[in-house]
Amino acid sequence: KAGVTQTPRYLIKTRGQQVTLSCSPISGHRSVSWYQQTPGQGLQFLFEYFSETQRNKGNFPGRFSGRQFSNSRSEMNVSTLELGDSALYLCASSEIAGGPGITNEQFFGPGTRLTVL
Amino acid sequence: TQLLEQSPQFLSIQEGENLTVYCNSSSVFSSLQWYRQEPGEGPVLLVTVVTGGEVKKLKRLTFQFGDARKDSSLHITAAQPGDTGLYLCAGAQTGGGADGLTFGKGTHLIIQP
């Protein structure tokens, strides 16, 4: 099976712009989670989608949004970019949805490196 | 918010040495996962531990989950340059809330030949 793919791999934007990142999960996986990784904060959970519905959301401002399509592919959007949004954005897919007490194996993509100037 | 503290943050040792990295929290987790991340790639799952006191071995890597399910350790025997990478622990909540996996900030491990 092909792994999780993310596009683009690298992106440079300026403050105030918006950006859309894409994630294609492993075939058959219906859950997609997004994480932001920075040297200072580490990996932080953004949101999880399962069957086109947002199930969980992390503590990020409303500028961060996402969606999932019927084929399980997911996109995340960041509007009004700030310098602090520079990070590696990781997408992870799994067969089942996560949740309290649920251990699901997540498969990560290589990430999109976003630089905001 | 459930936090996971990893130590040490950075570790550089010679090939053949043994090492242990730690993942600690004041909160209880239903399970804990260890990942390794190499530059330019996403994290790759190494192991999941679920039961308090559980020990799992993966070749030269030994993972232990604390009895109270608040902490975990990863021990590497006879480290090799191929073990170099960022080691991350991640905990799954026991209940309530909805913020996915909680990750520690990681241990950057360098094994020098």
Q: What share of chain B is helix, strand, coil (3-state, %, to 5)?
A: 5, 50, 45
Whether the CB of A60 is below 8 Å from some CB of chain B: the reply is no
**Long-range pairs of A39-47 with CB within 8 A, sequence gap ≥ 24:** A41/B105, A42/B88, A42/B103, A42/B104, A42/B105, A42/B106, A43/A90, A43/B43, A43/B88, A43/B90, A43/B103, A43/B106, A44/B103, A45/B99, A45/B100, A45/B101, A45/B102, A45/B103, A46/A76, A46/A89, A47/A76
CA quadruple B48, B3, B105, B10: dihedral sign: negative
pLDDT tens-place string over residues B68-88:
999 999 999 999 999 999 999
Please tell me the predicted confidence (pLDDT) of residue A98.
64
What backbone torsions phi and psi does residue A108 show, to the nearest 5 degrees?
A: -95, 150
Strand order in the sheet with A74-78: A5-7, A19-24, A74-78, A64-68
Cβ of B98 and A56 within 8 Å?
A: yes
d(CA A43, CA A38): 7
pLDDT tens-place string over residues A50-105:
999 998 888 899 999 999 999 999 999 999 999 999 999 999 998 876 665 566 78
Cβ of A58 and B43 within 8 Å?
A: no
Q: How confident is the model at residue B63 (pLDDT cuts 50, 70, 90)?
A: very high
pLDDT tens-place string over residues B5-33:
999 999 999 999 999 999 999 988 888 99
Whether the CB of A101 is below 8 Å from some CB of chain B: the reply is yes
Share of chain B above pLDDT 90, in %: 76
CA angle B28, A45, A92 (to 5 degrees): 105
* Per-window interface: B 8-37 vs A, CB < 8 A: 30-31, 33, 35
β-strands B107-112, B10-14: how paired?
parallel
Q: Using a CB-CB distance cutoff of 8 angstroms, which residues of chain A are in contact with residue B105?
A: 41-42
CA angle B113, B10, B30 (to 5 degrees): 115
- Average pLDDT over chain B, rounded to an integer: 91
Cβ of A56 and B50 within 8 Å?
A: no
Whether the CB of A76 is below 8 Å from some CB of chain B: the reply is no
Q: What is each CA distance from A61 to A35, A46, A65, in whole angstroms?
A: 14, 10, 9
Q: Using a CB-CB distance cutoff of 8 angstroms, which residues of chain A are in contact with residue B102?
A: 45
Please tell me the predicted confidence (pLDDT) of residue B97.
42
Nearest beta carbon to residue A100 from set B94, B105, B106: B94
CA quadruple B79, B58, B31, A71: dihedral sign: positive
- Average pLDDT over chain A, rounded to an integer: 92
